[in-house]
Amino acid sequence: MSSWTITPERPDSPVARALWRAYYTEVSDRWYLLHEDRRTDPAELEREVAARTGAELAPPTGRLLIARYDGEPAGSAGVRLLDPATAELTRVFVPEGLRGKGGAALLVAAAEDAARVLGARRIVLDTRSDLVEARALYARLGYTETERHNDDVYAEHWFRKELFN
């Protein structure tokens, strides 16, 4: 029987870096294919992956969680404190071949637990219109669309969920 495990991991670990590269490639390619009918330029990919190390997802004010499916790396989710009561959910990713097996919901639940441990009472996130699967996941997990909470140029939808202990 197949199973998921989720554990914290350093953002600079080889597994975390490989999942970040896969995540960034997918969301960047989707954006460019939709808006410019091309894939991400390899030089841009390298610049962005190198520039966005995920250091903000390291303790003491953040956590990066890695999912494994049958022991193999299969997804990620990160949280970081924006203020003492608010955490941001980011880098939620499960590769396409593993979607539909429940991993994303488990990752989000584990990220919510990590946010509570950090002291957060609410969790926020942003996403894009073309990431319809993500928006459906967040709505199904009790997130409500809310006002803008950041200035990310690619963000088009903002969500929030109150965390209860």
pLDDT tens digit sequence for 18-62: 999 999 999 889 888 988 999 999 998 889 888 888 999 999 999
55-64, 70-79, 127-136, 137-146, range with the lowest pLDDT: 127-136
Least confident span in 16-20, 137-141, 148-152: 148-152
pLDDT surpasses 70 at 17? yes
Residue 11 has pLDDT above 70, yes or no: yes
Strand order in the sheet with 72-83: 4-8, 62-69, 72-83, 86-93, 122-127, 157-162, 144-146
User: What are the phi and psi torsion angles at 5 (to 5°)?
Assistant: -130, 150
Q: 130-154 burial string, b = 16+ CB within 10 Å, else e?
A: bbeebbebbeeeebeeeeebeeeee
**Partner residues linked to 124 by β-bridges:** 88, 160
d(CA 93, CA 107): 9
> Can you list the alpha helix ranges (DSSP code H) found in 78-151?
103-117, 132-140
Residue with the bigger pLDDT between 45 and 117: it is 117
Burial class (CB in 10 A: 0-12, 13-18, 19+), 91: buried
pLDDT band at 115 (very low <50, low <70, confident <90, very high): very high
